[in-house]
Amino acid sequence: MKKKHVVLTITLVTVLAFSFWVYSFSTGPGKYDDFAKCLTEKDTKFYGAFWCPNCEQQKAVFGKSVKFVPYIECSPPDQRGQLEVCRDAEIESYPTWEFSDGSRLTGFRSLETLSSKSGCSLGGE
Domain ranges of the chain: 1-29, 33-118
* In the chain, % of residues over pLDDT 90: 74
Q: What is the mean pLDDT of the chain?
A: 86
Q: Could you tell me which residues come within 8 angstroms of residue 120 by beta carbon, excluding any fewer than 6 positions away? A: 35, 38, 39, 42, 44, 114
CATH architecture of 33-118: 3-Layer(aba) Sandwich (3.40)
pLDDT above 80: residue 2 = no
Confidence bin at 11 (pLDDT 50/70/90): low
Strands 71-73 and 45-48: parallel
Instruction: Tell me the C-alpha to C-alpha distance, in Å, between residue 110 and each of 17, 76, 81, 122.
Output: 36, 27, 28, 11
**18-55 pLDDT tens trace:** 444 444 445 578 999 999 999 999 999 999 999 999 99
